[in-house]
Each structure stands twice: as structure tokens, then as C-alpha cells.
């Protein structure tokens, strides 16, 4: 069974006290939910990770990093490596977010290195991929997605579908208010799933959660989740507002289909 993942990416937002207040409120809310099949994730800035983990220790909330260094350790000022994240019990990390690609010139090769570092340290990677606006306009979305997948996952062995998450985020939809229609997103999610089937195995591919990201809000999430290959969301802006994030979770809890992949 595939998990439905509701992942909030806070990026470089929130003060310490705002963070603590949000996480406390969220863990109280989660205590009242039956979360079977739904995984709530929050990616706060690095400096708050340890406190967020301590605050959510008794809850099902997963606290994730927004990024990780591609290096093992050493003289890389300002960087944080996977071993450090593992040593403070961070279980997941995003990698390949389009803002890292754009503002820090990260390539698919660098993202592959990050993937290896995370896997070597037992963290679950949330691998972000997606096409730019001009690539969609040129009609090369599929080529771009397949190239990202083949480069990032080159010679990477995967067998446990619950140890990897893929997030499809069309770059033109991030923070712009423009969302891919559920059908547009489904087409790419299916392409990703078929690529996983071709390169790994069907039972593995059937159980990998593939998230959509890009201007998700409570009023468009339900239709996205209706699609057979969309298994949750990676949410920026809306995850900063407690009520919106709670509403997104409630939509996921309501929509969760025990065995969404039973007929794929």
C-alpha cells in the first residue's frame, strides 16, 4: 500500500517561536487523528530541526531537512552533511528542489551525490524533479523528466519502496499560483511510475509514493489526490499557515484509499 504524504516545505520562513508554536499545535491535532496510510511531514529550516524533533517525539509527525550536502564531511563552510542529520535523528531530506537548482546551480549529478549520501546514512530522500516553463512550452516535458531520473538514479539500487519518495514539481507552478491541472500532473506521475517499473520492479514501483508540488492549496488538493498516481503533496506557501496545512491533512485523511494502487 502506498502512503499519502503531506509534506510542508517551509523554506526560509518562520522565527523560532513561530516554529515551536506551530509544531506544538500540529502535534496536538495529530493526536486526535487516525493517521493510518497518511504521513505528515514538515521541513523547517536547519536551525530548528533538533527542537522540532524533540517536540514531535511522541507524535507521528516526521521532521525533514530541506537539503543536504553532497559531501561526506570536511572543510565545506556552511554545509550540513547527511551524517549530521542522521546523528540528530532526522529521518527524511528533500534534495533537488528547483530553488536549489536555480539559486545554487545544483545539477542532477550533484543531486545524485546527495541521494547517495542520504542513503548511506539511512535517511529517506525526497527527490524533487520537474520541468521549467520554457521546457513545457517546447513540448519536451517527458524528455526532461526522464533525463533527470536517469541521471539522478544512475547505478542506484533501490528495493524498499518506503525508503524513497519522488516529488514532481513543475518549476513554473512553484510559488506562482499556477497549478498543473490534475490531468497534467497525472500524466507526468504515470511517466515516472512507468520509468520505475522499467528500471526496477513492478511491486517496488507500485508502492513508491510520488508527490505533486506547486501551488497546492486546500481548494485544489482533493482533485490532485483523486489521480491514481498522485500520492500526496509537497507544499510550500500553504504549509506556513497552520489552518491550511491542517485542512490539507484532513483532505488526505478523508481521501485516503486503503489500496489506491490495487488496480494499477
| Contact status, residue 184 vs residue 175, Cβ threshold 8 Å | no
Helix ranges (DSSP H) in the chain: 16-31, 49-55, 82-87, 98-103, 108-120, 133-137, 141-152, 182-199, 202-207, 218-226, 242-255
CB of 48 to ligand PGA, least distance (A): 18
Is 169 one of the catalytic residues? Answer: yes
Q: Which of 97, 99, 131, 135 is catalytic?
A: 97
CB of 237 to ligand PGA, least distance (A): 4
CB of 128 to ligand PGA, least distance (A): 7
Toward ligand PGA, which CB reaches closer, 67 or 113?
67
CB of 162 to ligand PGA, least distance (A): 21
* Nearest CA among 56, 171, 39, 10 for reference residue 103: 171
Chain centroid to Cα 243, Å, comes to: 20
Distance CA(7)–CA(233), nearest Å, equals 6
Toward ligand PGA, which CB reaches closer, 204 or 242?
242
Distance CA(242)–CA(199), nearest Å, equals 39
CB of 175 to ligand PGA, least distance (A): 4
Please give the residue whose beta carbon sits closest to ligand PGA in the complex.
Answer: 236
Cβ atoms < 10 Å from Cβ of 227: 19
Toward ligand PGA, which CB reaches closer, 87 or 176?
176
Chain centroid to Cα 168, Å, comes to: 8
Q: Which of 99, 113, 169, 189 is catalytic?
A: 169
Is 18 one of the catalytic residues? Answer: no
42 conformational bin, left if phi > 0, alpha if psi -120 to 50, beta if neither: beta
Q: Give the list of residues 6+ apart from residue 221 with CB closer than 8 angstroms, or none.
A: 233, 248, 251, 252
Toward ligand PGA, which CB reaches closer, 161 or 213?
213
Residues found near ligand PGA in the complex (CB under 6 A): 9, 169, 174-175, 213-216, 234-238
Cβ atoms < 10 Å from Cβ of 112: 20
Toward ligand PGA, which CB reaches closer, 86 or 131?
131
Catalytic residues: 97, 169
Amino acid at each position: 500500500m502506498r502512503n499519502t504524504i503531506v509534506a510542508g516545505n517551509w523554506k526560509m520562513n518562520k522565527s523560532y517561536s513561530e516554529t515551536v508554536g506551530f509544531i506544538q499545535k500540529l502535534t496536538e491535532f495529530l493526536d486526535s487523528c487516525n493517521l493510518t496510510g497518511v504521513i505528515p511531514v514538515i521541513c523547517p529550516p536547519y536551525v530548528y530541526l533538533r527542537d522540532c524533533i524533540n517536540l514531535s517525539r511522541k507524535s507521528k509527525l516526521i521532521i525533514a531537512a530541506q537539503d543536504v550536502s553532497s559531501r561526506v564531511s570536511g572543510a565545506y563552510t556552511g554545509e550540513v552533511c547527511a551524517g549530521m542529520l542522521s546523528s540528530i535523528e532526522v529521518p527524511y531530506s528533500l534534495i533537488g528542489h528547483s530553488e536549489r537548482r536555480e539559486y545554487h546551480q545544483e545539477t542532477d549529478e550533484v543531486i545524485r551525490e546527495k541521494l547517495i549520501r542520504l542513503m548511506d546514512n539511512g535517511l529517506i530522500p525526497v527527490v524533487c524533479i520537474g520541468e521549467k516553463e520554457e521546457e513545457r512550452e517546447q513540448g519536451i516535458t517527458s524528455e526532461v523528466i526522464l533525463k533527470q531520473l536517469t541521471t539522478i538514479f544512475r547505478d542506484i539500487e533501490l528495493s524498499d519502496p518506503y525508503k524513497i519518495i519522488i516529488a514532481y514539481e513543475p518549476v513554473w507552478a512553484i510559488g506562482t499560483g499556477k497549478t498543473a491541472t490534475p490531468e497534467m500532473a497525472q500524466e507526468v506521475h504515470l511517466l515516472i511510475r512507468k520509468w520505475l517499473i522499467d528500471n526496477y520492479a513492478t511491486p517496488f514501483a507500485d508502492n513508491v509514493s510520488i508527490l505533486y508540488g506547486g501551488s497546492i492549496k486546500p481548494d485544489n488538493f482533493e482533485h490532485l489526490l483523486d489521480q491514481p498516481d498522485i500520492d500526496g503533496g509537497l507544499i510550500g506557501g500553504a504549509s506556513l499557515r497552520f489552518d491550511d496545512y491542517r485542512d490539507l491533512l484532513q483532505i488526505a485523511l478523508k481521501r485516503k484509499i486503503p489500496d489506491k494502487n490495487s488496480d494499477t
